[in-house]
């Protein structure tokens, strides 16, 4: 079992930056692929990024290249998403998630078993 708690969301102006964090409980944190999804009002949940157990392999949604960076610290049971050059379209609730496979993040998000409660990111134009 993994419990996830996000933090770091807020209001930022377009072009600004935010860093989201996800704190995980459970001794098996390092065994899981960790990642982020987001969901804007009226839209489907969207894959943002994921990182494998070692932190060496990362995966990004197609809209993220170069602006978002995902990382993890297994010693601290934390994962982060650094976001730069934020745009109005990035406004959404961002969810931390954990699963055993990166494939589920990218192709079958409904099967991802562990989720945080979400943190709101609002980008003003």
- Please state the rounded mean pLDDT for residues 3-18: 97
Dump pLDDT digits (tens) for 51-78.
Answer: 999 999 999 998 666 899 999 999 999 9
- Report whether pLDDT(89) > 70: yes
CB 33 within 8 A of CB 57: no
- Report whether pLDDT(13) > 80: yes
Taking alpha carbons only, the member of 14, 15, 26 closest to residue 79 is: 26
DSSP state of 109: G
H helices of the chain, where? 102-107
Task: State residue 106's pLDDT score.
Answer: 87
Task: State residue 31's pLDDT score.
Answer: 87
Report residue 111 CA to chain centroid gap.
Answer: 16
Of 13-17, 33-37, 86-90, 104-108, the one with minimum mean pLDDT is 104-108
């Amino acid at each position: 079992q993994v419990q996830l708690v996000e933090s770091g969301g807020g209001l930022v102006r377009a072009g600004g930056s935010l860093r989201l964090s996800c704190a995980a409980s459970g001794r098996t944190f390092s065994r899981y692929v960790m990642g982020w999804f987001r969901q804007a009002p009226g839209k489907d949940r969207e894959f943002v990024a994921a990182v494998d157990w070692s932190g060496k392999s990362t995966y990004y949604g197609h809209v993220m290249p170069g602006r978002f960076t995902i990382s993890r610290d297994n010693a601290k049971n934390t994962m982060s998403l650094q976001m730069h050059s934020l745009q109005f379209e990035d406004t959404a609730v961002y969810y931390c998630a954990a699963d055993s496979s990166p494939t589920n993040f990218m192709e079958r998000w409904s099967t991802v078993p562990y989720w945080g409660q979400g943190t709101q990111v609002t980008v003003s134009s």
